[in-house]
Amino acid sequence: MGVISSILLLPAAPVRGVIWLSELIQEQVEQQMHDPVRLRRELEDIDRAAAAGEISAEEAAQAQQEILNRMTGPR
C-alpha cells in the first residue's frame, strides 16, 4: 500500500479491527459448538442429570436433540 492510501485509510483502522475481532470470535464459537469432545461431555451431563432426577425425561430428550442438531447441522 502506498503512503497516501495508508493515510486515507487510517481513520477506518478501528472499524477494520473490530470487524476482524468479531470474525475471530465467531470462528472460535463455531469451533467450540462443534467440538466432538465438548458435545459428548454435554450429552453425558444430560444423562447424569436425568438419572439424578434433576431434569425430566422430556427436558433431557429436548437437550439431547439440540446437541445432535449442532452435531449434524451446517457449520
Give residue-wise pLDDT tens across range 26-37. 999 988 888 889
The residue-averaged pLDDT of 3-7 equals 84
54 within a domain of the structure (yes/no): yes
**Whole-angstrom Cα distance, residue 47 to residue 52?**
9
Query: What mean pLDDT is reported for the chain?
Result: 90
41 within a domain of the structure (yes/no): yes
Q: How many domains would you assign to the chain?
A: 1
Give the angle 42-31-44 at the CA atoms, nearest 5°: 10
Query: Which pLDDT value is given to residue 75?
Result: 62
pLDDT at 25 over 70: yes
15 within a domain of the structure (yes/no): no
pLDDT at 2 over 90: no
pTM: 0.62
Grid cell, residue 18, equals 473490530
Query: Which pLDDT value is given to residue 9?
Result: 83
